[in-house]
Amino acid sequence: MRWWKAVGLAGAAGVVATGVVVVRAERRRRAYTPDQVREQLHERFAQALAAEAAAETATPAPQEAPGLRGRIRRLFRR
């Protein structure tokens, strides 16, 4: 058997294996009811909000420079 035939057969086997994985994942995805999907989305959203709130409280607000330097920085930010 020539080397290009072996490469072609390996490529075809890879395409078939990828198709099997995609079909299996699609069946698993379609097995959820709309209520289950909605529940999962609400849970993910709540987790994202909690993570964002934790990140906001973890990082301190930047301190303004006192005096003239702080005023100049505020002018340039606008």
Flag whether 21 is in a domain: yes
Whole-number pLDDT of residue 4: 82
Flag whether 77 is in a domain: no
Domain count, the chain: 1
Flag whether 10 is in a domain: yes
Flag whether 14 is in a domain: yes
Whole-number pLDDT of residue 30: 82
Flag whether 69 is in a domain: no
Q: What is the 3-state secondary structure (H, E, C) of 19-53?
A: HHHHHHHHHHHHCCCHHHHHHHHHHHHHHHHHHHH
Its domain, for residue 28, covers 3-57
Flag whether 72 is in a domain: no
Flag whether 74 is in a domain: no
pLDDT averaged per 10 residues in sequence order, the chain, 78 residues: 83 92 87 90 94 76 68 78
Flag whether 20 is in a domain: yes
Whole-number pLDDT of residue 19: 93
